[in-house]
Structure 1
């Protein structure tokens, strides 16, 4: 079992699935860590990455900042 702890102040449609699939590709040596890091810091369009299937992905917890 793989566990990914992903946090952010907002997410795009299927963003977590793309992140998980790309991290798996990095772990298998199919995608470089440097390319992945570059995409995280400088997002761009028309990048060839895959989306992880929805089955098997589980949302365990959602946290919100307290309103002032």
Structure 2
């Protein structure tokens, strides 16, 4: 059963730059949600699947940590 997500109707979704065209694991991050909230969803279940929401400060910390731990090319 699909649930509506209050405050997410105007969100513009952006697919991860690590996604490929062969249906691999993909996530989308939304922009335009309520202030201080970052919505994230699985591309394969969009638009009716589960949307996780994170405080923007936690999301920023998560992304910075990912960038610091990526292997160098």
Which category of TM-score, normalised to the shorter sequence, fits these structures? under 0.3
Taking structure 2 as the reference length, the TM-score comes to 0.27
Question: Which protein is richer in strand relative to its size?
Answer: 2
Could you say which structure has the greater relative contact order, defined with CA pairs below 8 angstroms and 6 or more residues apart? 1
